[in-house]
Structure 1
Amino acid sequence: MRWTRLCSAAVSAAALSVLVAAPNAATAPRDEPPCTAGTAPYQRELEKEVQRDVDGRQSPGDCAAIRDLQRRLGIRPADGRADLRTYRYMLADRVRRDPAERRGCPARTYRVTCVDLSRQLLWVQQGERLVFAPVPVRTGRDGLETRGGWHRIYWRNIDHFSTIYHVPMPYAQFFDGGQALHGTDADLFSSGSGGCVNLTQADAKRLWKLLRKGDHVYVWGTKPGTGG
């Protein structure tokens, strides 16, 4: 009888240890799916960023490293493709992390909205301090370029509608003639605007809450694919 009780106890303990050690199927880590994206236009730039061999040809290791970068930057889908979207968000992150990357925009004691046409980025700084982190934008296409130099926000309209292009311009903040900072549902990574600085709706809303009439805007550089 005593032996039976001991054996039963041993079996119960062993069974308990198996139950405790076994991971829950719902929380067990799943195998990472293979990364299959092919070579894309910004392959070399992103290979350099993720510290892979820079040969301009996608490999499974390159794909996985770029996918990890996309996840860190919050890009969806994170598919490992070295596309323009990933490249621009990578540039924005670089400007956010490194003050030297902001030297194109003058540092002033007052708030300056910086529009970098060459990198298609916008951020706001006061002195050396970022007060609005860099985000990708879409500026004027060839022949309708966003005008460079110093400007000031002279009119704001949260629900503006363009009678020229017949499109909504939410969170519009005009800084030069008909050119404004505003939100759009259009793809920021194709073509260009009619001269305005387009942001995602979410970014335009955040910028609206930050800026005021009279704030300074500085525009410099050249949008890729335009004459100025």
Structure 2
Amino acid sequence: MIRRVAALVAVVLAAGLALLIPSSAQAAGCSPRTGPAQRQVEKYLHLKVDGKASQADCVAVQRFQQRMGIRPTAGYAGPLTGSIVTRLANASYSKCGANGGIRVCVDLTHQVFWVKRNSSLAYGPAPIRTGRAGLATPAGLFRIQDKKVSTVSTIFKVKLPYWERFYADMGFHQTTTYLYDGGSPGSHGCINLLPIDARTLFKYTKYGTPVKIFGKKP
């Protein structure tokens, strides 16, 4: 069952990428080069799995990188692209449970979130960044308690676009830095989202929307 869910997620994601990225952007600067994560990425994106980069592979990988905010977006299946694929493929989709409406799901272990409507995938999955050691994002069942299109943290004095509070002073918001900054130990407890995900999640939720957070950040 878990494998079927993961496979469905990959198919939905692959199909959705074509709608999110304009064709002119997909082809820009795409020169096929086989990367160390080539076979892994091909499998996840439902491409021909031969471990060799083709022009079609390059465009598909580039499209994935653009959607996931990965830099550079050259269509090269490098280590970062491979690690994001691993996180999305291995997320524990069956652990979020279900309810009679919208539910936001957060897998701390794999640093991934998605949205469910009843028992079906409504949006995502997509990568996230959660709290650092000492300021860990808590696991549990919470609800959206506050929403603001734009606000500023009174503690850290930073902008919080598409703010959605779910516990204490922690919430979802758009990251204002590169999500995959290797030097960052994590957030101050909030769940950092890519811009497209922050905007879209804001549209899905309302006051009281359940947020299921599970697992433990590595």
TM superposition score normalised by structure 2: 0.69
Gapped regions of structure 2 (runs ≥ 5):
1-29, 67-71
Which residue identity lines up with residue 199 of structure 1 in the other structure? L
Q: Aligned with 1:103: secondary structure?
A: helix
**How far apart, CA to CA, are the structure 2 residues paired with 1:109 and 1:208?**
19
Which residue identity lines up with residue 168 of structure 1 in the other structure? K
Query: Would the aligned equivalents of 1:63 and 1:81 in 2 still touch at CA under 8 Å?
Result: no
Q: Aligned with 1:203: secondary structure?
A: helix
Matched, 1:157 2:148: yes
Counterpart in the other structure of 1:171 = 162
Q: Aligned with 1:35: secondary structure?
A: coil
- Alpha-carbon distance, 1:84 to partner: 2.6
- Alpha-carbon distance, 1:185 to partner: 2.3
**How far apart, CA to CA, are the structure 2 residues paired with 1:141 and 1:43?**
31
Which residue identity lines up with residue 87 of structure 1 in the other structure? S
Gapped regions of structure 1 (runs ≥ 5):
1-31, 54-60
**How far apart, CA to CA, are the structure 2 residues paired with 1:84 and 1:125?**
27
Query: Would the aligned equivalents of 2:62 and 2:75 in 1 still touch at CA under 8 Å?
Result: no
What pairs up with 1:104-115 in 2 under 5 angstroms? 104-115=95-106
Counterpart in the other structure of 1:35 = 33
Structure 1 window deviating more from structure 2 (143-152 vs 75-84): it is 75-84
Counterpart in the other structure of 2:127 = 136
Which structure's relative contact order is higher, taking Cα pairs within 8 Å and 6+ residues apart?
A: 2
* CA separation of 1:214 and 1:115: change in aligned 2, threshold 3 A: same
**How far apart, CA to CA, are the structure 2 residues paired with 1:109 and 1:177?**
25
Q: Aligned with 2:73: secondary structure?
A: coil
Counterpart in the other structure of 1:122 = 113
Matched, 1:78 2:79: no
Runs of 4+ in 1 over 3 A off after TM superposition: 42-53, 62-69, 89-92
Counterpart in the other structure of 1:10 = none
Query: Would the aligned equivalents of 2:63 and 2:75 in 1 still touch at CA under 8 Å?
Result: no
Which residue identity lines up with residue 147 of structure 1 in the other structure? P
Query: Would the aligned equivalents of 1:153 and 1:174 in 2 still touch at CA under 8 Å?
Result: yes
- Alpha-carbon distance, 1:72 to partner: 4.8
**How far apart, CA to CA, are the structure 2 residues paired with 1:33 and 1:113?**
37
Counterpart in the other structure of 2:179 = 188
Counterpart in the other structure of 2:212 = 218
Query: Would the aligned equivalents of 1:73 and 1:89 in 2 still touch at CA under 8 Å?
Result: no
Counterpart in the other structure of 1:14 = none
Query: Would the aligned equivalents of 2:140 and 2:212 in 1 still touch at CA under 8 Å?
Result: yes
* CA separation of 1:72 and 1:157: change in aligned 2, threshold 3 A: closer
TM superposition score normalised by structure 1: 0.66
* CA separation of 1:142 and 1:43: change in aligned 2, threshold 3 A: farther
- Alpha-carbon distance, 1:33 to partner: 3.7
* CA separation of 1:46 and 1:143: change in aligned 2, threshold 3 A: farther
- Alpha-carbon distance, 1:71 to partner: 3.0
What pairs up with 1:65-104 in 2 under 5 angstroms? 67=58, 69-75=60-66, 77-89=73-85, 91-92=87-88, 94=89, 102-104=93-95
Query: Would the aligned equivalents of 2:111 and 2:129 in 1 still touch at CA under 8 Å?
Result: yes
Aligned match for 1:198, one of 166, 182, 192: 192
What pairs up with 1:55-70 in 2 under 5 angstroms? 61=52, 67=58, 69-70=60-61
